[in-house]
Chains A and B, each alone.
Chain A
Amino acid sequence: MAQADLLERIYFGLCAVLAVAGAIGTVAFPNPIRGALSLLFSIVAIAGLYLQLHAPFLAAIQLIVYAGAVVVLFLFVIMLIGPDAIPPKDSRALVARVTGGIAGTAISLLVIMVLSRKTFPRIAPIQAAYGSVESIGELLFTDYLVPFEVSSFLLMVAIVGAVAVARGKQPDPQLTKKPDADVAPAAEERGAS
């Protein structure tokens, strides 16, 4: 038993360290590519933590969606932007940044302080099906059907929106057509009086 315990702790510690290191890397690296890769490490570590929390389905989803899609998307965009993704350093709005930093740190410290005192009753043992694909899937299609469908709708909207925003403006030949010759004088007349 102690060995299982120890293994658990080592595993937890590894994942935790990896997650934190990845997080720090995300925010610290000036080069966003390195930041994205750090994020990847962090996400993978969190997936590992999910596994420890008996949420295998979620861990799989995390890896597929986050690591496999979101981070890849980030990398695509960074590479699309190119070298300008690393802007030169300047110290604009230092005050705001420092204030923000301090506020953020304070918030997180408080939250940590609060959460760390929380006492939980003895954790009950769970069944094997806990957190499995079947159980979550069943929930998704019964109790949480509406949010499920709505989120699919949301994803479609997001796709359309992303395409529309990212496409940028192209001159529309319809809009740039010259006005008709016989329409113009009437407008001029009306405008002159």
Chain B
Amino acid sequence: MEHNLFAKPDDWFLLGIILGLPLYGAFFNGVFGKRFGRNMVRAVGVGTVGLSFLTAIFTFLQLHKLHHHAEAAAKTAWLAANQGKTLPAELPVASSKLSWFAWKWMSMATAGGDGRLAIDVKFSVDELSGVMMLVVTGVGFLIHLYASSYMAKDPGYHRFFAYLNLFIFSMLTLVLADNLPVLFVGWEGVGACSYLLIGFWFDKAENAAAGRKAFIANRIGDVGMLAGMLLIGYYLGALDWDGINHNADKLLDPAARIAIWQSSGKIITISAATAATLALFLGCTGKSAQIPLYVWLPDAMAGPTPVSALIHAATMVTSGIYLICRLNVVFALSPFTMMIISITGALTALFAATIGLVQNDIKKVLAYSTVSQLGFMFLGVGVGAFGMGFFHVFTHAFFKACLFLGAGSVIHAMHARVHDDVASQDMRNMGGMRKYMPWTYAAMGASTLAIAGFPLTSGFFSKDGILFKTWGNEVVHPYVATAKSLLELPECKANAAAPKCVAANNVLHAYWQAPPWLGKVLFAIGILAATMTAFYMFRLVFKTFWGEFKGWKVDESIKLATNPFENVEPLEDGDVSYGLATTTHGHDAHGSDEHETTDPRDLIEGERAPDHAHDHHDHHHEDLTVPAAPPAEAPWQMTVPVAILGAFALFAGFLYAEALHIEPIGHWLAPVFDDVVGKTVTMSEAAHHLEWPLMVPGVLAALIGSGLAYVWYVQQNEEPAKKLAAEWPRLHRAAYNKWYVDEIYEATVIGGADALADGAALMDAWIVDGILAKLTALVVSAFGAILRAFQTGVVHVYSAFVAVGTLGLVLFFVRPHPDATVAKEGDTYTLEAAPGIGYEYKWDVDGQADKEFVTGEPALKRTVQVPLDGTKKVTLEVKNSFGRTASHTFTLTNPKPAPVPTTTVAMPGAAPRPPAGH
């Protein structure tokens, strides 16, 4: 078909290269980074991701070619089938895929299906993961470039890049996986890397705690993820995308309903689809920071800013939406879950926006804005707008990463003089930065316009697309959709009383459906959240870049060197810096350096690096009234990525501008969502016409929000905000303290877990140690005490025991023992007497008695025939050499054997398919 080097679409080993390059970078930097120095670390760290990006582009182009071919093939097929008609605008196209089978992992025996469930390490790219792959590697590359300068002074430079590369590898594993288990490997990998990177400066307890919180919240979600995976594997017998999409109907089987509540005759069941999707959604709330598991994301700002940009804006937190888009066929089977997703998304968007309104830390504002935007994305996929929700992922990656990196540049500039970690991020210390950092200002301004949803920016198209579809989309149960289409057929329109039409009618109302007003309510919530978003984002811009600079007294004549790579220390392993590394500044800007010696690093390692005198941020407060150089624009490695991302934020919207019918991404992603969109997710014609009118509330939201921010923060110099905070102090404090959600969790869930642990410890101390251990010891020592009483040490007592024992023996030998073993063979019983010295035997077999005692071999055995169900008696009399006799009677019966039951075992397996074809 194609004559190029990489001919086979099902053995696309470049995927291995895309994955392997960051992995190699992680390995190299982790193991050899310290030895080779910063330049090598930077080259390997940034270079591997860059190369991976180029390979990803090449792969994407190849995929595009395949997609093109598929489109052409679909067109020719349609034209061949429908002679003479004109091509419709939208033609369903089969999805194209490039895959790479790495190795067999495991295969499990299953009860149903064809008996074996094979789980292999297989990677694949299709339309959806192709876009995601480009985002991950592209934005990842830009952020690596940024971080190479941002972290330039950090002694853990090599460790940082190792973790960052490892993160890219894990994220790519997640995105490029061809089945759920491999995706889960990537899922866990990004969680682990997130933990490592959030707690990068782990000498501060709060950073380590934040990392732990992120990991644990993720793990709680993972329980749901695993449960969902198991349910899917069980019911569908397949865990790879092809298999899942093919067999998805099995989740709707009436036999596959799960009972969740049983009480006095009433049983509430849910379909397996609902159970599996709800479980998977729990995993998504953990990974993508939705209610209830979003609490880790604001704390995750303790990590370095490039980490926040990459992980908590662009890539990791979007895994949840990616999963839902990937499994859209499964999710669409359960309108209930879709409703839950959309409600959760909307509420999260609103909730996080309220918190972001009053925060002062620039990164915290961005964090809550991320949670809020993720809420929008979930709202989008929850109402069935998979393509648009994913597009919001795409645009959000750009504008949020740009915002974070820009904020990082600002913080970087603040750190030159404000060494305290908290103060350098506080917006109340900033202001007027647009004079000093024009590029950063421009990019962040562009991204703010995008996130607020100003017309024609990327955020506008994606957010408004989501809100439009929230209003208009309808998600129905697949059986209902089938019934509806059945009722549309001409024969049912003509004769509504035909049996199958009646049956279809009954199905229409038999399945749960979201109420029709829900979409409107969610739209209103979305608009409210959008207004708040515009407000607090512009508040951030105005407080940071406009007005007077409040950080320190500025003397414009002093210039700073901006080379971040001068005067850096040697790399140290496992070591930390205390926050941000400073840019080099002239050493004459300080007075003398009298330094305390309580360097925490001394407590960790014995040696100090030679000249790190200027990096003790918390121990060294500068006198900020002494005029110094203004905050500097960041070096090109930091500014260029910010600018590129800002440009994308502005113009990427035209990739899916549905209202303008410019939809390259929409067309591109259509094959992935074709099974669902148009079938179970529909929009009525009436709603379609509302596309333009419904844009108005969105634009109004952006204008009102930004306008209010302008009035309050630029014109009236924050007076209205301060007045409002003074009038409603408790409300302000509650919003500032995140509505005390963390405290509630601490009191309830974590408190409960602690109480459980305490109870277990108590039980261990009392019951296990006290009762079990001590009791067994007591028993043993009691036995010992009893036995010890026998050890008197006096020979006479021992001999008394010997006498007693001998008495027993004598008794045994003096009495004769008429023992015989009975063996049965069919109907014949053989009795064999036990031999004894000097014994004589006399048998009485069923009435036939021996005349006298006999000795020797023939006297030992006797046989008897016992008929079925009959009984016979045999008596044995023995005489021992002391002349004593004894006898014993054996009763032999031959009962009929019990009848053998016939077994019928019901085999669990594939239930019959539903009657209405799908």
Binding site for B on A (CB under 8 A): 93, 96-97, 99-100, 103-104, 106-107, 110-111, 113-114, 117-119
Residues of B within 8 A of A114 (CB): 814, 882
A-B contact pairs, 14 of them (CB 8 A): A93-B792, A93-B797, A96-B796, A96-B800, A100-B796, A100-B799, A100-B804, A103-B804, A103-B807, A104-B803, A107-B806, A110-B807, A117-B884, A119-B883
Tell whether, in the assembled complex, residue A107 and residue B882 are in contact, meaning their CB atoms are under 8 Å apart: no
Residues of B within 8 A of A119 (CB): 883
B residues near A103, Cβ cutoff 8 Å: 800, 803-804, 806-807
B800 touches A97 (CB 8 A): yes
Instruction: Verify B797–A96 contact, CB threshold 8 A.
Output: yes
Give the A-B pair count, Cβ closer than 8 A.
45
The residue in chain A whose Cβ has the minimal distance to the Cβ of B808 is A103
Closest Cβ neighbor of B806 among chain A residues: A107
Q: Does B77 contact A (CB under 8 A)?
A: no
A96 proximity list for chain B (CB < 8 A): 792, 794, 796-797, 800
- Of all chain A residues, the one with the shortest Cβ separation from B813 is A114
A110–B803 CB distance below 8 A: no
Nearest residue (CB) in B for A99 is B800
A118 to B880, CA, bound (A): 11
Contact A107 B803, beta carbon cutoff 8 Å = yes
Query: CA of A104 to CA of B806 in the docked complex: distance in angstroms?
Result: 9
Contacts of B803 in A (CB 8 A): 99-100, 103-104, 107
Q: Determine chain A's interface SS by DSSP, over half rule.
A: helix
Q: Which residues of B contact A118 (CB under 8 A)?
A: 882-883
List, in ascending order, chain A residues with CB within 8 A of B796's CB: 93, 96-97, 100
- Bound-state CA distance A130–B792 (Å) is 50
Residues of B bordering A, CB below 8 Å: 792, 794, 796-797, 799-800, 803-804, 806-807, 810-811, 814, 882-884
Q: Which 8 A-B pairs have the closest CB atoms?
A: A100-B800, A103-B803, A96-B797, A114-B882, A103-B804, A96-B800, A103-B807, A117-B883
For B806, list chain A residues within 8 Å (CB): 103, 107
Most A CB contacts (10 A, CB to CB) among B792, B796, B800 go to B800
A114→B815 CA distance, assembly (Å)? 10
Within the assembled complex, what's the spacing in Å between the Cα atoms of A103 and B805?
A: 9
Closest CB of chain A to B369's CB: distance in Å? 73
CB distance from B239 to the nearest CB of A (A): 69
With A93-B794, A93-B796, A93-B797 known to touch, is A99 a contact of B804 (CB < 8 Å)? Answer: yes
Q: Are B810 and A110 in contact (CB under 8 A)?
A: yes
Contact B814 A110 (CB under 8 A): yes
Q: Within 8 Å CB of B811, what residues of A? A: 110
**Once bound together, how far apart are the Cα atoms of A139 and B614, in whole Å?**
115
B810/A107 in contact, CB under 8 A: yes
Nearest Cβ on chain B to A128's Cβ, whole angstroms = 33
| B-chain residues with CB within 8 Å of residue A100 when the two chains form the complex | 796-797, 799-800, 803-804
B882 in complex: contacting residue of A93, A97, A104, A117, CB < 8 Å:
A117
Distance in angstroms from B810 CB to nearest chain A CB is: 5
B817 CB to nearest A CB, Å: 15
Chain A: which residue is nearest B880 at the CB level?
A114
How distant is A190 from chain B, measured CB to nearest CB, in Å?
Answer: 39
Chain B residues, Cβ within 8 Å of A111: 810
Supplied contacts A99-B804, A103-B806, 9 more A-B pairs, CB within 8 Å: A97-B800, A99-B800, A100-B799, A103-B807, A104-B803, A107-B807, A114-B814, A117-B882, A118-B883
- Measured between alpha carbons, how far is A112 from B803 in the docked complex, in Å? 16
Nearest chain B residue, comparing its CB with the CB of A92: B794
Name the distance in Å between A187's Cβ and chain B's nearest Cβ: 38
Complex CA distance for A107 and B814, rounded to whole angstroms: 11
Which residues of chain B are near A113, meaning CB under 8 Å?
Answer: 814
Cβ-closest chain A residue relative to B809: A107
Q: Closest approach, in angstroms, between the C-beta of A113 and any C-beta of chain B? A: 8
Residue numbers in B under 8 Å from A97 (CB-CB): 796, 800
Nearest Cβ distance between residue A69 and chain B, in whole angstroms? 25
Q: Is A106 within 8 A of B814, CB to CB?
A: no
Q: How far is the CB of A27 from chain B (nearest CB, A)?
A: 13
A117 contacts which chain B residues (CB < 8 A)? 882-884
Contact of A106 with B799 at beta-carbon distance under 8 Å, contacts A114-B814, A118-B883 already known: no
Q: For A104, what are the chain B residues with a Cβ–Cβ distance below 8 Å?
A: 803
Report the Cα distance A104→B807, complex, angstroms.
Answer: 8
A106 surroundings in chain B (CB, below 8 A): 807
**A-chain residues with CB within 8 Å of residue B794 when the two chains form the complex:** 93, 96
With a cutoff of 8 Å between Cβ atoms, the chain B residues found around residue A93 in the complex are 792, 794, 796-797
**Cα–Cα distance between A33 and B176 once the two chains are bound (Å):** 108
A97 to B806, CA, bound (A): 16
CA distance A97 to B792 in the complex (A): 13
Task: Please give the distance in Å from B553's CB to the nearest CB on chain A.
Answer: 72
Report Cα–Cα, A185/B337, bound state, in Å: 91
Separation of A113 and B811 alpha carbons in the complex (Å): 12
- Tell me the complex Cα distance, A103–B807, Å: 6
Measured between C-beta atoms, what is the minimum distance from B473 to chain A in Å?
Answer: 89
Kindly state the separation between the CA atoms of A106 and B799 in the bound complex, as whole angstroms: 15
CA distance A111 to B797 in the complex (A): 23
Min C-beta distance of A164 to chain B, whole Å: 21
Interface centre among A100, A113, A117 (most CB of B within 10 A): A100
- Chain B residues closer than 8 Å to A99, beta-carbon distance: 800, 803-804
**In whole Å, how far is A45's beta carbon from the nearest beta carbon of chain B?**
26
Chain A residues with CB below 8 A from B810, complex form: 107, 110-111
B787 to chain A, nearest CB (A): 16
**Nearest-CB distance from B306 to chain A (Å)?**
61
Q: In the complex, A119→B881 CA distance in Å?
A: 10
State A110–B799 Cα separation when bound (angstroms): 19
Bound Cα distance A117, B885 (Å) = 13
How far does the Cβ of A101 sit from chain B's closest Cβ, in whole Å?
Answer: 8
Contacts of B884 in A (CB 8 A): 117
Q: Complex Cα distance A100/B811, Å? A: 16
Measured CA separation A184–B803 after assembly (Å)? 56
B827 to chain A, nearest CB (A): 43
Which of A93, A96, A110 has the largest number of chain B CB atoms within 10 A?
A96
Which residue of the partner chain A has the closest CB to B882?
A: A114
- In the complex, A100→B884 CA distance in Å? 27
Q: How far is the CA of A100 from the CA of B798 in the complex (A)?
A: 9
**Most chain B beta-carbon contacts within 10 A, residue among A103, A118, A119:** A103
Q: How far is the CA of A16 from the CA of B539 in the complex (A)?
A: 129
Closest to B794 in A: A93
A113 to B882, CA, bound (A): 9
Q: How far is it, in angstroms, between the C-alpha of A113 and the C-alpha of B794 when the chains are bound?
A: 32
Q: What A residues does B883 contact at CB under 8 A?
A: 117-119
Q: CA of A97 to CA of B794 in the docked complex: distance in angstroms?
A: 11
A53 CA to B252 CA, complexed, in Å: 107
For the complex, what is the distance from the CA of A93 to the CA of B796, rounded to whole Å? 9
Q: Which residues on A sit within 8 Å (CB–CB) of B800?
A: 96-97, 99-100, 103
A110 to B883, CA, bound (A): 14
Q: How far is the CB of A75 from chain B (nearest CB, A)?
A: 23
Closest Cβ of chain A to B533, distance in Å, is: 80
Nearest A residue to B803 via CB reads A103
Q: How far apart are the CA atoms of A159 and B797 in the complex, in Å?
A: 29
Q: How far is the CA of A110 from the CA of B811 in the complex (A)?
A: 8
* CA A27 to CA B747, docked complex, whole Å: 86
- Min CB gap A95→B, angstroms: 9
A182 to chain B, nearest CB (A): 46
Nearest CB of B to A135, in Å: 29
Query: How far is B810's CA from A126's CA once the two chains are assembled, in angstroms?
Result: 34
Which chain B residues lie closer than 8 Å to A107 at the CB level? Answer: 803, 806-807, 810
Q: Which residue of A lies closest to B805 (CB)?
A: A103
* Alpha-carbon gap, A106 to B792, bound state (A): 24
Complex CA–CA separation, A100 to B794 (angstroms): 13
Complex Cα–Cα for A96 and B797 (A): 6
CA distance A113 to B803 in the complex (A): 18
Task: Tell me how far the C-beta of B291 lies from the nearest C-beta in chain A, rounded to whole angstroms.
Answer: 72
Tell me the minimal C-beta distance from A163 to chain B in angstroms.
23
B804 (CB) vs chain A CBs: closest residue:
A103
Complex-state Cα separation, A80 to B278, whole angstroms:
101
Tell me, rounded to whole Å, the shortest Cβ–Cβ distance linking B726 to chain A: 81
**A114–B814 alpha-carbon span in the complex (Å):** 7
